């Protein structure tokens, strides 16, 4: 008998010591290791086991052997659940009545035509399209540079394709292409991981109940707008981008939120923002107090406190730089 089997008993007794030590009635410990039931008392103990034996004297219990096949509750924590024995029916997120038409990508027709001359290999996963070598470059370029993608990183681009397409060197080809993308090199900044432990904000219980807001300012004039009000739902990570002619006042900020956010998603419970004058004025506080919304301000010069909206700001700036670097005055056409 080794030390791991009695160690499990020691850990359990320490975890429930406040319930079991000094109990009026003896209790039963069931184990699937039969040696614990008999040889623990008669065999010679090593120093560690002797200390455990002294610890056991504080409790009144009996060890009982139960085979692992019958010790279901304890075995379930250490066994891999086999889904093949009990097939699970996946529940769709959207019902069939909400699906207007299937999504067909632009290059699907070319890929299917190429497969007529060269069939997919046997190692191609089921439900995936095998992409021939003469179509791969176009598919990678479309998945990375299309406006619907927005020049994502290597991981996001691979996940975008790997759910539907397959070829043996997909990850390697994607890594080479994204690493050599000139637009990404010009428009993206390195993001090293900060030191220390993260202290995220608490997760809300429902969508659009807790919001994070911020401004993107000093943008080139586009359709009369130079500012974007960014509103992020901390639960679903959904965002609303509101183009504005200039940096708004506190009253204009309240009107924009009420018209474009509160009217569609309801009044939130809390709004997180920085210490901008729009969010610290008496008008803003009175407006939020009237609606029953709590105001949370981040610490000064620490944008990481409002990390979700700051991350969206980075993605929006990266997207606009990637597609509007030749015509910076056209960015408003890309903001929904």
Clarify whether residues 329 and 273 are in a common domain: yes
Q: Is residue 269 part of a domain?
A: yes
Q: Is residue 280 part of a domain?
A: yes
What is the pLDDT at residue 93?
A: 67
Q: Is residue 318 part of a domain?
A: yes
Range of the domain at 8: 4-75
Ordered per-residue pLDDT tens for the chain, 336 residues? 567 778 888 898 999 888 888 888 888 888 887 777 665 665 677 888 888 888 888 888 888 888 877 777 776 666 655 555 555 666 776 666 665 555 556 677 777 777 777 778 888 888 888 888 888 888 888 888 887 778 888 888 888 888 888 888 888 898 888 888 888 888 777 666 665 565 677 888 899 999 999 999 999 999 999 999 999 999 999 999 999 999 999 999 999 999 999 999 999 999 999 988 999 999 999 999 999 999 998 876 667 778 888 889 988 998 898 888 888 899 999 887
CATH number at residue 315: 3.30.420.10
Q: Is residue 305 part of a domain?
A: yes
What are the residue ranges of helices labelled H in the chain?
4-15, 17-20, 35-42, 47-56, 72-75, 108-115, 133-145, 154-162, 170-179, 182-187, 250-257, 263-265, 277-280, 282-291, 307-324
Residue with tokens 């990183």: 153
Q: Is residue 243 part of a domain?
A: yes
| Total domains in the fold of the chain | 3
Spatial distance between the Cα atoms of 125 and 127, rounded to a whole number of angstroms? 6
Cβ neighbours of residue 98 closer than 8 Å, sequence gap 6 or more: none
CB 116 within 8 A of CB 137: no
Clarify whether residues 327 and 217 are in a common domain: yes
Clarify whether residues 134 and 179 are in a common domain: yes
Q: Is residue 192 part of a domain?
A: no
Clarify whether residues 214 and 328 are in a common domain: yes
Clarify whether residues 182 and 222 are in a common domain: no
Clarify whether residues 182 and 254 are in a common domain: no
Clarify whether residues 178 and 113 are in a common domain: yes
Clarify whether residues 231 and 323 are in a common domain: yes
Clarify whether residues 143 and 230 are in a common domain: no
What is the pLDDT at residue 1?
A: 59
Question: Cα separations (Å) of 53 from 6, 7, 65?
Answer: 10, 11, 19
What is the pLDDT at residue 265?
A: 92
CATH number at residue 130: 1.10.340.70
Digit-coded pLDDT (tens) for 296-324: 988 766 677 788 888 899 889 988 988 88
Digit-coded pLDDT (tens) for 249-305: 999 999 999 999 999 999 999 999 998 899 999 999 999 999 999 999 887 666 777
Clarify whether residues 25 and 138 are in a common domain: no
């Amino acid at each position: 008998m080794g030390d791991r089997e009695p160690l499990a008993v020691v850990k359990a007794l320490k975890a429930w010591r406040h319930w079991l030590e000094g109990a009026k009635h003896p209790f039963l410990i069931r184990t699937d290791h039969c040696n614990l039931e008999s040889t623990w008392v008669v065999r010679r103990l090593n120093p560690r086991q002797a200390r455990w034996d002294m610890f056991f004297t504080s409790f009144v219990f009996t060890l009982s052997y139960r085979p692992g096949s019958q010790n279901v509750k304890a075995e379930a924590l250490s066994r891999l659940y086999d889904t093949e024995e009990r097939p699970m029916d996946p529940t769709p997120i959207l019902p069939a009545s909400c699906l207007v038409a299937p999504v067909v990508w632009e290059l699907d027709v070319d890929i299917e035509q190429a497969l007529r001359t060269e069939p997919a290999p046997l190692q191609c996963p089921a439900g995936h399209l095998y992409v021939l070598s003469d179509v791969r470059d176009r598919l990678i370029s479309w998945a990375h540079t299309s406006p619907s993608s927005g020049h994502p990183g290597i991981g996001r681009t691979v996940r975008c394709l790997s759910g539907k397409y397959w070829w043996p060197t997909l990850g390697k080809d994607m890594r080479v292409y994204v690493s050599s993308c000139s637009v990404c090199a010009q428009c993206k900044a390195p993001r090293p991981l900060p030191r220390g432990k993260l202290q995220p904000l608490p997760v809300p219980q429902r969508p659009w109940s807790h919001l994070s807001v911020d401004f993107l300012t000093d943008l080139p004039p586009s359709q009369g707008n130079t500012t974007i009000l960014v509103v992020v739902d901390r639960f679903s990570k959904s965002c609303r981008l509101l183009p504005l002619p200039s940096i708004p006042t506190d009253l204009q900020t309240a009107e924009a939120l009420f018209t474009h956010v509160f009217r569609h998603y309801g009044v939130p419970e809390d709004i997180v923002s920085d210490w901008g004058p729009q969010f610290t004025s008496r008008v803003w506080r009175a407006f939020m107090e009237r609606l029953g919304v709590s105001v949370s301000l981040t610490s000064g010069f620490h944008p990481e406190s409002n990390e979700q909206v700051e991350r969206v700001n980075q993605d929006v700036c990266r997207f606009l730089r990637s597609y509007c670097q030749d015509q910076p005055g056209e960015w408003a056409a890309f903001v929904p």
